[in-house]
A and B are shown apart, each in its own frame.
Chain A
Amino acid sequence: MLEIHELFAKVEGKQILNGLNLSIKSGEVHAIMGPNGSGKSTLGNVLTGRAGYEVISGDVMFNGKNLFDLEVEERARDGLFLAFQYPVEIPGVSNMEFLKASVDARRKHIGLPDLSSFDFMKLARESSQRVSLDPAFLKRGVNEGFSGGEKKRNEIMQMMLLEPSLCILDETDSGLDIDALQVVAAGVNAMRSEARSFIVVTHYQRLLDYIVPDYVHVLSQGKIVRTGDKELAKELEAKGYGWLEEEGV
């Protein structure tokens, strides 16, 4: 699914990723944890191709394609999805219109016919209910005036509609209360399948009680310094990141 090999990247002249390696197979869930500034969000932005995030060296293969040969929108159409840590508010553009445009683009790319407006609205309403978001939100501007939790649920709804093959959740749990966290986790779990993989970026072990990962990686200073299973997350929660540094890994 995804092969990251010796990835070095910088942001605004500052080198953030320092030779990151990661291999993800179909159906796997990988959690990435690490202290602030270790490069967790940078990884998501580099993979999706955000302007300003510059790859110095290394390569990333995504479903057999060189990811860096593709534009931002091409990566998305090929099935890469990033749930934003800070979803963007776009007043004046309705959520429904935005969702339809993105689903149309993805369907066209994979050779499926356009959904009629009627069918799409039905689908969107169902999806919004699955993440406990009032369908009235579909008519509002994209994320306009949404609470933090509503924005995150909107991200998960987009993920459901786009049916990506690789989902990156960038601190989707930040700012969520327990109820919203469970809704988000249930949405993710419902989407887990043999054909779909996840990268779950988080600061807290709590999310991993709900979304149980196959692997847990610790990112520090731009590279993965430790890999384990879900028990590693509990150890980190108990001991903090300082423990790893003391061990000198």
Chain B
Amino acid sequence: MAIKVGLRAKLFILSSLFLLLPWFAYQFVIEMESFLKSGQQQTLLGTTSGIAAALHERSSLFNTDINNNEGIKQGHDLYVYNLEQPMILDGEKNDWQSIINFKNHYPTQSTALTDSTTKGNNPVQFEQTLGKHNGYLYALFEVENPYPLIRNADSPQLNKADHLIIAMSSPQGELKRYIVSVTSDGWFNAYRYPENSLYTTQRHREKSIQGIWKTTSTGYNIELRFPLNLLGNKLGFQLNTRSNINSNNIDQQIMTSNLLDVKRLGSVLIPSPEIKNLLQAMSHTSSRLWVVDKFQRVIANTGDIHQAKGIWPDSLNDIEQSKQEDSLWLTIQKQFLSPIYELFLDKPDPSFTDIKENPTRLNDALITQALSGYSATQWRSSQDDKASILSAAQPIFVNGQVVGAVLAEETNHGLLSLRNETLEKLFNVLFTVLIVVGILLFGFMSTVVKRIRHLRDQSEAMLDQNGRLTGHFLASKQQDEIGDLSRSMEDMIKRLGQYHQYVEQLSARLSHELRTPVAIVRSSLENLAALPSDSQQQKYVIRSQQGIQRLNKILTNMSEASRIEQSLSHLDKQNIDLNELIKGCIQGYQMIYPNNVFTEDASSTSILIEADPDFIVQLLDKLVHNAVEFSPQEQAISFSIQVQQQHAILNIENKGPLLVEGTQQDLFQSMVSIRPEAHQHNAHLGLGLYIAKMICDYHDADLRIANNPDLTGVTVTITFPIIQHKP
């Protein structure tokens, strides 16, 4: 089945190609985005290299003397967290909340101080937390010791009860050791630990180390502090307690590292306030910055990743939007466009989370690469995959050695916002243009289609069923191709009409033109006949006169059609009873054609039609004349009238030769006669049915001629509109 595709549909399909424009725009912006991404990478790398430049060759900021290749171990090497709040020494852990998660756990150690074979039945363990605030290092020990051994107030030996040994390297690198041993809960000062534990009775109180010992339900808490200037870069703790609840021997020790040897003492890292200050000065770069030492421990960090959108300018829309809150365009954008854009644009989601598992050590591949001396960048997703984060790392050199690295991180949110904003603006413009252009094109096409349709309807209405021209063609005044077409069609129809008229009036003109010469011949013959002549001459004169008479009849017939048409133009219509008229006519025909039989199948009803009876009679005359000519003499010519709704249908049927299929409508044309040779005895010009058709047309009646259903003859059917029907 052929699908009819109109011009409008075709245009619609073609113009849908314009929808590729937004796609191209999208691709372009995406391409642009990847450019900008690499630009952002370079910028971030520049940031890190700037910070690194500020940190190069400042050995004082980095612990350059820790050089063990073993790296660092959790618990063995200590990290001092920054405490934001002022601390109260009270043995409680409430003010440690901010860093309580970073405490180190030290389980019961099997190694006994003495070579005791008895297995200890006093499992002791403790948790230690380190922080600094305002130039002091704070330490909290939560000791789980169900059977603590507290020194008697009068016992001189500090190491004969539960005690804590603090070992550190001084800023000069010497090993310093202190001991905390109390006789009861409450304030204490540490004592310097003598060279040998045997001299523990000699007490040298170290007042700068002070703290609180507090007994708890499971053991005791020790909270202490000492000024940071005591501390070098190594620190260790050791808790000594009894292993057997039945003995009073202090033979169980739990230590963070070996306190006896300064080289084996665990290192301590205190985040450098200087570097932090430096970073904070750099934090205007709107990146999250980290500085790590060569063990990937965080020395300093600053910035919030949620604010780190990169260097892109903030959306300009914020300003514009505040200006025109209620504008229509904004409403449209909010109501309709934004939801569409959100379907395919990644919106920056500020709710992402990206928390480092261990904020003291950054051990990702990027840092490793930086620590091996090369700068590096990478894109990665945030932990919850909601944001893409760009990281750049740059090594820091001191004396040609990598001592640390700077890490900067930014989200792609700035870029994303910029891209989305660009795309939205682009789409807004594109869609507006597309809609406007679409509407214009559609409107234009509609008028074109409308005009073409109008032209088609007009040209279809020009010709009636029989191919006769009806009415006038009104040409378009538009000065374009369709207008041209319309005008040339008008011209064509005009010329066709002229030709048509010429053909239709040909017989009338011909008869008119012939009439004068015929009159000459005729009058001459009549004059000749009046002259005295012999019988021989007379014979030819009479023959000539017969011939001229026939010629005259032909001429009369030829002009009859045009004369009837003229009379038809001032038609005198009146209400007549079709039934009665036909009955009268049949009587007349029976008299005129006595050799033929006329039958009538009509009810005695009155069927009123509006018509000029003279013309209807002429119409019937023509049809009956035809029927008589074709009908064999013994066969009846039957009339029948039926009423169907508002129409009276008159059938005149005669037996006889059939019509050739396809010629029915041609018969109504002027001067078309389709008769078998046998019937061409008389002057037949084929005007009879043409006149009949003409009369029917003037009476709004429909005339058809066809072979009858059983193919024994021909039926002429006339359908009149009736005005009244009385049974």
Specify whether A and B are partners. no
